[in-house]
Amino acid sequence: MNNITVNQIINADFKISSRPILKPFHGSFVVADPSMLTPDNCHDGKWHMFFHTTFGIFHFVSDDGIDFKKVQKVTNRAMRPNINYIDGKYYLFYERTRPLFFNALNVVNAVRWKTEIYVVESTDLLNWSLPRPVITNTRDYENSERGMSISNPFLLQENGVNRLYYSCGLTYIKDCGFCEPTHISYAESKRVDSGYVSAEKPLISPDKNDPYLNLCSGCLKVYKLSDGYIGIQNGIYEKDGKSHSAIILLTSADGLNFEFNKILVEPAVIDGNDWMKQFVYASHLVRYGNTLRLYFNARNVANPVLGRECIGYAEAEI
């Protein structure tokens, strides 16, 4: 991304796929939070997607980045992955949850929610190390009445510093029947896999006056470009008595202070397909040749029983 300008991203005309490329399977109501490896950043020259379902993180592979097939389930007790290829090794950061039984008790407020950031490593995308904690609960703002959440890791490397952006806190979304992240923060380390120290204050918090951030902060992915930084965020907001999520483009001079620029993808019914009718969630922007692809997951309705989350993409030429 470092040979793309901020204006190129701002001016990119993203076309959204009318249908999802991956739907829920094996009894899960969701496939969510895609994290991608492009062929030019992978040892086998293929597209690799990591994402989560109700039952853990999965790894799928593709020749074209659209038609994916299952490789493996990487780990259970896991959500919201972030895959990175660094110096011949793959680092998969993710949000580690309590066992499924305790998560179920959390729904009825019998047990407080607790998640933190873990990492596993691999040299071949098939054999993975044992999980190790990377970011644990050290700041008060990571806690809430419903428990403690540290989630949505996303790594940015620059000048010998590893910066992991992450979401934290829990805000209950009434019409969905579940919580979404309250704040966005970051932690830094000189090592990729350990030693992270979290910022004293969050970067982004809810703003009742912001039409796309008036409930909570969702997640943030940050990219260093040739002349600055961009952030791609999905804020959670209330509109006309219902909750929604949209993907917004932010700009920054330093990767820490962000300004709203425009909406990239917002809820819509496209060609009669309603898979992204109410929510557009976490995304991953990748470049392959002269093409930008923004992979994301979306949800049709808030209802916790009827709602389904699928993965799709938007594409632009640069």
Rounded distance between C-alpha atoms, residue 84 and residue 219, angstroms: 18
The pTM for the full model equals 0.95
- Please list the pLDDT of the chain residue by residue as tens digits (318 residues): 779 999 999 999 999 999 999 999 999 999 999 999 999 999 999 999 999 999 999 999 999 999 999 999 999 999 999 999 999 999 999 999 976 544 444 454 545 789 999 999 999 999 999 999 999 999 999 999 989 999 999 999 999 999 999 999 999 999 999 999 999 999 999 999 999 999 999 999 999 999 999 999 999 999 999 999 999 999 999 999 999 999 999 999 999 999 999 999 999 999 999 999 999 999 999 999 999 999 999 999 999 999 999 999 999 999
Contact between residue 285 and residue 294 where contact means Cβ atoms under 8 Å apart = yes
Class level of CATH domain 6-317 = mainly beta
Domain ranges, ordered by start, for the chain: 6-317
Nearest partner of 55 among 84, 82, 32, judged by Cα: 32
